[in-house]
Structure 1
């Protein structure tokens, strides 16, 4: 199913829940309500703005839909608009007297005279009387004030109310709604076969503006647009190039904007990509769809600290622990309370000037999503753990940030990472390159970075195809979760050796301004043959210093045994260069060895034996 078809189907679900406006309508912020007497005279002006001191936005009302306005004669809206159309006045650039917009006021009047011709509704006739009598000179009289300039206005008949006794706007009167629905359904556009629904209907010339995508224009961006002569074919212009009916365009736009509303619970930002997700309620019902959406939100939203939820909700969070991952495949969905056959749609959008780019689009069942998430988290498993709970995709990207600044994350990697997670395909090789660049630039070789390297290598090994190998390593060889002393891979062993040499220096000299890791990690992981001989010679002095102190003699012996055990598995000649996959294995081996503790039977006096890495206790897993 295409993106537009899935969004159009989702609109039906939102309409049944009354979460979107019906076809032909849109939710707009209306700042003022102009109250008209029966003879068309303005008698009051209701301030509908929210907030204090008149600085807030207008009240959200369901009104006849707005459209994109471009060109030299932009069209007016029906029964509401801003002051430049309704009154023919707006704020001037100099800030003095209001600027006149006579052409727009005339367009607003002529438009309503044409649509309301022949109406007998008292409220609509009142509006016609007002428009025919209005002149900009009357703006100086009550109830008008400068606060109305460039703000949106709607109309109300004095004394008119709905069935509940609340004041009713003209666009809510039954006659106005019937008139507008007929106009919205017919329009003045040529008919064509809609590419979304397959039915013949009037084709949309301009598609709706999509608002809420991070980094895109606040006024909205287009998911479908044609704006240059190069996109004109066979005499077709703009929306005629890819015919989508006005009804389908409205529906997909309304559904997309509803998903993008803050607080919808179905959107999140990963890097520069705004990710949207929703479930299909057509087969298994609304309750099942909502449970699946809550599951997807739990696994994709940013990982929070253990004692609270970052999104502020108090719903149970059974996903963010490792226990359910060990459950049998058939029982995972049941353990989480979701129906495995419910379809899930995941859409990634990124800004592209005035338009939007689709970074990824996946349709899969909840059961398939759990399987792929399980594989993803299993690839990330590392001992000691890099996270206290399964990390969200956004948490993985933090390992790529320079000095912890999110804006430095490579923009394309968010979409590529999400696509790999959702499809189960290879992680982008650029992800490994970005991690290695951070390590070589002096960023800490911490658990998250090592886990990312391990996940990329593990999936490469699992999905390896003949002819796509990195010549520096055996790509079919997996990566161990915890320290594996039998692992023969040269890059992995070199990473272990580097960690032992670093720990020996720290044990002998204490904390330094520039340790072995600070000065040599990048060179040791990329060109081992040029660095390790020098490091090994220096380590002999560190071990000698440990031997001279009675309290650290046994520790020196342990270091020597570790070095001997690692060196026995290395080739006689060290690699002159390690390729990126080899540098990733180097990082994993370094992480495993660095957090290894001296075995308890050899530590006769734990109080007098410092830990090999200089810490007093095992480090806590990183959040």
Structure 2
């Protein structure tokens, strides 16, 4: 199924999705009108989100697209249009309000509907200099809706009246063209509604489908006629996507620069409506927990019942077990549940599609289990299984999300979910960060191992934990470097201005021949000094160095002039394993033989 078709289909089964021709918008003020057009009441429309009060989300007639042009919305708009007032006191406010008034005069025309008549009378009588008499200062720039005062209390707004609905639907007559999304005929959307909620994108929204230059058009068609999508289908796919991308929707996550929307669709023969929706919600929650959220986040007691099945299902997937079995307490998730994942990123006035996956939950579970095996490292991260964005932060300067290399997040996530090779930019970026800051932690070591296993098929050469029998050159040199560092630390203590890792890790991992002779000489001095202090620890370190050197091939130079990227990754992995082994073993004076 195509991306737009899947979104249009999702819109149709959303229980609270706006009707065709409508969209969700934040409305801050409702004006109650008397039948003579006078203002009966002005009320804020607010809801509490956390500690803040924000305008309520209402389904209103779909907004028009505007940048610098003056174009009013239907039966609602910002105060600059609906009342001719804004915080900026813009000189264009009068023109905006006049356009709003004239548009509704032309749209409504002659009518006997009390609500529409009251609205026209209000527009004819209204003057912006009356704003302070009816409205609070903080209501400026809010979106405003109108209602008859008697219907306002029941939250029936002007556009909900049958006469207003008839006007809104009047422009949809005619057979139109064949829609490329639904296959049905209907009026073509020349301009598609704006998509909002893209991290880093335009606040006013942007488009996936647009034709704003002649170079993008063909055969004399203009704008949306180049790719006919019906107005209803355009409003549906944008409505679904805006709903998924909204904060707190449960259908979005942020991975690097990619805003990711995801949703599930259980098979129709899976069970009744309640069971299908329950399975879909669980599948979506497990997906979010796997790739976005922190497993060790604090859980309120009332959330424990909801969190437990998610954790259990996620652990089963990581262990490559069925999501549910006869002993499981979690609801069943069918492997055939369709699962859709869409990654989007801003690109000037447009939205770039980073990736699109139309697959099954079973396939995603299998690929995520494989990813978990790839990333397994010993010793593991002390903070538990990291989320994907934690790993991505290891590729960024200063560990900041906004510094994650462009495209990397989307390419890596697509590889994880599709089970394909990881992007090689992931390997080169991690190696570059290690050379820059000298940090080889569990997360970076796990990334190095994962790329070696999947891309270079080094299942044996890139082990989970320390492998004393590993004979790969890069791995041995990494272990040797860690041993030299341990000798320096044991002899001089930790109050050293710059360790050998700070000075030599980058060159040692890329050009060993230039560095290891220097390290070998320095190590001899460190071991000599250590022998006077803790001879037992000196013996242990010398034994480790000898064991590593014995694994070197006698027919090859132990210190080659350069190491390719894969061997540099093995160097980092060997360094991490050996250094961790020293900490675990804790060569200490208590282990030394008695000196008489």
Structure 2 matches for 1:98-497, cutoff 5 A? Answer: 99=91, 101=93, 103-131=95-123, 133-134=124-125, 136=127, 139=130, 142-143=133-134, 150-160=141-151, 166=154, 168-180=156-168, 182-183=169-170, 185-186=172-173, 191-281=176-266, 283=268, 284=270, 285-305=276-296, 308=299, 315-316=307-308, 318-319=310-311, 324=316, 327=319, 329=321, 331-334=322-325, 337-386=332-381, 389-462=384-457, 478-497=461-480
Paired with 1:141 and 1:536, the residues of 2 have a C-alpha distance of 82
The answer to whether the 8 A contact 2:317-2:366 is kept is no
Name the SS for the 2:456 alignment partner.
helix
1:576 and 2:556 are equivalent in the alignment: no
Paired with 1:100 and 1:508, the residues of 2 have a C-alpha distance of 76
The answer to whether the 8 A contact 2:63-2:193 is kept is no
Tell me the CA shift for residue 101 of structure 1: 4.8
Provide closer, same or farther for how the CA distance between residues 35 and 321 of structure 1 changes in structure 2, counting only shifts above 3 A: closer
Name the SS for the 1:595 alignment partner.
helix
Paired with 1:545 and 1:103, the residues of 2 have a C-alpha distance of 85
Paired with 1:143 and 1:325, the residues of 2 have a C-alpha distance of 59
Structure 1, gaps ≥5 residues long: 463-474, 611-623
The answer to whether the 8 A contact 2:286-2:314 is kept is no
Cα displacement string for residues 353-373 of structure 1 (whole angstroms, at most 9, x for unaligned residues)? 121111111122111111111
Tell me the CA shift for residue 44 of structure 1: 3.6
Tell me the CA shift for residue 46 of structure 1: 3.1
Which residue number corresponds to residue 48 of structure 1?
45
State which drifts further: 591-600 or 373-382.
Answer: 591-600
TM-score (structure 2 length as normaliser): 0.88
Structure 2, gaps ≥5 residues long: 271-275
How large is the Cα RMSD of the aligned pairs? Answer: 3.1
TM-score (structure 1 length as normaliser): 0.84
Paired with 2:104 and 2:435, the residues of 1 have a C-alpha distance of 68
Paired with 2:140 and 2:446, the residues of 1 have a C-alpha distance of 57
Which of 531, 550, 558 aligns to 1:547? It is 531
Tell me the CA shift for residue 57 of structure 1: 4.8
The answer to whether the 8 A contact 1:207-1:222 is kept is yes
Provide closer, same or farther for how the CA distance between residues 200 and 598 of structure 1 changes in structure 2, counting only shifts above 3 A: closer
Tell me the CA shift for residue 59 of structure 1: 3.5
Bigger helix fraction: 2
Tell me the CA shift for residue 151 of structure 1: 3.8
Provide closer, same or farther for how the CA distance between residues 122 and 328 of structure 1 changes in structure 2, counting only shifts above 3 A: closer
Tell me the CA shift for residue 258 of structure 1: 0.6
Paired with 1:147 and 1:457, the residues of 2 have a C-alpha distance of 58
Paired with 2:293 and 2:138, the residues of 1 have a C-alpha distance of 42
Paired with 1:373 and 1:263, the residues of 2 have a C-alpha distance of 24
Paired with 2:54 and 2:316, the residues of 1 have a C-alpha distance of 46
1:506 and 2:489 are equivalent in the alignment: yes
The answer to whether the 8 A contact 2:178-2:184 is kept is yes
Which residue number corresponds to residue 516 of structure 2?
532
Q: How many residues align?
A: 574
Tell me the CA shift for residue 458 of structure 1: 0.6
Paired with 2:8 and 2:264, the residues of 1 have a C-alpha distance of 13
Tell me the CA shift for residue 142 of structure 1: 4.7
The answer to whether the 8 A contact 2:438-2:505 is kept is no
Paired with 1:373 and 1:461, the residues of 2 have a C-alpha distance of 19
Which residue number corresponds to residue 4 of structure 2?
4
Name the SS for the 2:307 alignment partner.
coil
Which of 507, 526, 533 aligns to 1:523? It is 507
Which residue number corresponds to residue 470 of structure 1?
none
Provide closer, same or farther for how the CA distance between residues 493 and 116 of structure 1 changes in structure 2, counting only shifts above 3 A: same
Which residue number corresponds to residue 273 of structure 2?
none
Tell me the CA shift for residue 447 of structure 1: 1.6
Name the SS for the 2:150 alignment partner.
strand
Which residue number corresponds to residue 556 of structure 1?
538
Cα displacement string for residues 421-459 of structure 1 (whole angstroms, at most 9, x for unaligned residues)? 011111111111111111111331122111111110011
The answer to whether the 8 A contact 1:211-1:260 is kept is yes
1:36 and 2:33 are equivalent in the alignment: yes
Paired with 2:146 and 2:407, the residues of 1 have a C-alpha distance of 47
